[in-house]
Structure formats: structure tokens, C-alpha cells
């Protein structure tokens, strides 16, 4: 079902008037984690003012260590839904377990599967019947074929609205957090009809690399970007402040993108 042979035309996912795929560029921006109602409200206003269409933010965080901040949970879903509604933005948030799919689907417009859960097949099956579009991140050690098979689980479950996301893979390089595999973008668009989103934040792990790799992703044919932005990155509650753009950098980048490709 994910194959272009089966479905020659690009899939366009329409959510409340925003089209993802099919030529328009979508920008999803926001913090790594929802931290408070004030934080997500302020950042939502900045995403909207910059021209973004989707507010990102994790309420449930898949942290490498069990003692790190794990997210604010269901309260965060509510805070994010309110900020999205107030600022007229769609929302995307990560869901980590099948048990939380229904509540995340109640509050968010798009559900995100994180890199660590790309092959959580029970989660993927549950997302097949959740009724909401899904952004599926590539596992950091997954091949294109494994990513497409993971998408297949969601599609086979009856949900046609899946986006593929390149977020960087693990290589021998340690200067960057991950290696953003730009080649994935044209390859996935060739093999599949599904929209392809690039995540230059996790793909590099370094703020100064987000702008060039965003532009490179657009040049490679990405249908959208998911970018971390924070008003106070040095004090963010996850370690991802180092890769988060300041609000003025985010706004400047979106202005530059307008010149590269029309944003929705």
C-alpha cells in the first residue's frame, strides 16, 4: 500500500484546510517538550507569526535515561490543544504506547511515532484505526525498506494518512548527533507516494546546522519540515535546547523558505 507502483499519484493529506504533500511546503515548529501552558502558548504565537502551520511539542518524551524528564503527560496534551486552537495551528505530538493512542488522537491533529518506536508493531497497528494522520519517524538504524514496512502496518490497518520522516541515522560520525540522510528524501518519494518530512533538528543535533539542512531538505524535495524552536533553549527541560532555534532564527528561516518554495 505504501508503494508508488500501487498508488502512482502523490498522497495529499488534508487537515483543516492544510495540505501536506502534493507540492506545498508545510512547516511544523515548536519545542521538543511541552513544559507549561504559558510556554506552549507563547511558542505557538511565534510559530504562527513566522508562517508555520503546525505546532509541535511532546507531552510524552522517550528519554534515553529513565531519570530524565519524561514529559508532562496528559496535561500537556490539553495545554497544546488549547494553544493550537487559540493560534489557529494544527498540532502534532508523539505517542509512545498503544494505550495512549486514543487520548492523543482526541487532543492532537497529527500523531508522531518516534524513531525509537518505528518498529513497535502493536503501536503501529493501533494507529491504523486511530482516525488521525500519523507522522512516522525513521528508526535511527532502519533501512528505507524497514521504514516503508512500518508505514505498511498503519496503512494496512485502514489509515491512509501516513507521512514519512527522515530524522537522521546513526553513523560513525560523532560531531553531529545523527547524520541527516538527505538521500532518503528523493528515494522515499520515488519508492512511495506518501509525503516526506525532514527533521533537521534531530538530524543534526546542532542549532547552527538546522538552517542549511532545512534548505538542503527542500532542495531534495521534502514536502515539509519539523523544526525545534524554543524561547529559552538554554533552559529547556530536555537536552534538545542545543538544537532548538531561537524564535528570530526560526522566523528568518521561514522567510528564506518562501523564496525557495511556496509555503502553504
Given the rule CB under 5 A, which of 25-33, 47-55, 121-129, 254-262 is the region that contacts Mn ion? 25-33
What's the closest the beta carbon of residue 217 comes to Mn ion, in angstroms?
Answer: 17
Name which of 32 and 155 has its Cβ closer to Mn ion: 32
Per-residue burial over 110-143, b if 16 or more Cβ lie within 10 Å, else e, is bbbbbbebbebeebbebbbebebbbbbbbbbebe
Name which of 62 and 212 has its Cβ closer to ligand PEP: 62
Q: Which of 48, 87, 137, 177 binds ligand PEP (CB under 6 A)?
A: 137
Binding-site residue total for ligand PEP (CB under 6 A)?
Answer: 8
Per partner kind, with CB cut-offs from 5 to 8 A, the member of Mn ion, ligand PEP, none near residue 29 is: none
What does DSSP assign to residue 210?
A: H
What's the closest the beta carbon of residue 8 comes to ligand PEP, in angstroms?
Answer: 30
Q: Which of 11, 39, 91, 115 binds ligand PEP (CB under 6 A)?
A: 115
The bridge status of strand 162-166 relative to strand 196-198 is parallel
Q: Measured between alpha carbons, how far is 219 from 228 in angstroms, rounded to an integer?
A: 20
Q: Measured between alpha carbons, how far is 230 from 40 in angstroms, rounded to an integer?
A: 9
List residues bridging with 162 in a β-sheet: 134
Closest CA to 124 of 132, 115, 116, 136: 136
Q: Which of 27, 32, 90, 104 binds Mn ion (CB under 5 A)?
A: 32
Per partner kind, with CB cut-offs from 5 to 8 A, the member of Mn ion, ligand PEP, none near residue 167 is: ligand PEP
Q: Which of 240, 244, 245, 251 binds Mn ion (CB under 5 A)?
A: 240
DSSP string covering 146-174: HHHHHHHHHHHTT---EEEEE--B--S--
Q: Which of 32, 130, 154, 229 binds ligand PEP (CB under 6 A)?
A: 32
Closest CA to 53 of 92, 81, 82: 92
Q: Which residues are at the interface with Mn ion (CB under 5 A)?
A: 32, 240
Q: Which residues are at the interface with ligand PEP (CB under 6 A)?
A: 32, 58, 62, 114-115, 137, 167, 202
Amino acid at each position: 500500500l505504501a508503494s508508488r507502483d500501487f498508488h502512482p499519484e502523490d498522497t495529499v493529506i488534508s487537515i483543516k484546510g492544510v495540505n501536506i504533500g502534493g507540492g506545498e511546503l508545510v512547516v511544523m515548529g515548536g519545542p521538543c517538550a511541552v513544559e507549561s501552558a504559558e510556554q506552549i502558548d507563547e511558542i505557538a504565537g511565534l510559530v504562527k507569526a513566522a508562517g508555520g502551520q503546525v505546532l509541535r511539542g511532546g507531552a510524552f518524551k522517550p528519554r534515553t535515561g529513565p531519570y530524565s524528564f519524561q514529559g508532562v503527560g496528559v496535561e500537556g496534551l490539553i495545554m497544546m490543544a488549547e494553544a493550537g486552537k487559540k493560534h489557529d495551528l494544527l498540532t502534532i505530538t508523539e505517542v509512545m504506547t498503544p494505550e495512549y493512542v486514543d487520548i492523543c488522537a482526541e487532543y492532537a491533529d497529527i500523531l508522531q511515532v518516534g524513531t525509537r518506536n518505528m518498529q513497535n508493531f502493536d503501536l503501529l497497528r493501533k494507529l491504523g484505526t486511530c482516525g488521525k494522520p500519523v507522522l512516522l519517524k525513521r528508526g535511527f538504524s532502519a533501512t528505507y525498506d524497514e521504514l516503508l514496512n512500518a508505514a505498511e502496518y498503519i496503512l494496512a490497518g485502514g489509515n491512509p494518512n501516513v507521512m514519512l520522516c527522515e530524522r537522521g541515522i546513526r553513523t560513525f560520525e560523532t560531531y553531529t548527533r545523527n547524520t541527516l540522510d538527505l538521500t532518503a528524501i528523493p528515494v522515499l518519494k520515488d519508492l512511495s507516494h506518501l509525503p516526506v518530512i525532514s527533521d533537521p533538528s534531530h538530524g543534526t543535533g546542532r542549532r547552527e546546522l538546522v538552517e542549511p539542512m532545512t534548505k538542503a531538505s527542500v532542495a531534495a524535495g521534502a514536502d515539509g519540515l519539523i523544526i525545534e524552536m524554543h524561547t529559552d533553549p538554554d533552559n529547556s527541560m530536555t537536552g534538545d535546547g542545543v538544537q532548538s532555534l531561537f524564535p528570530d532564527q526560526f522566523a528568518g528561516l521561514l522567510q528564506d523558505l518562501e523564496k525557495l518554495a511556496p509555503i502553504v
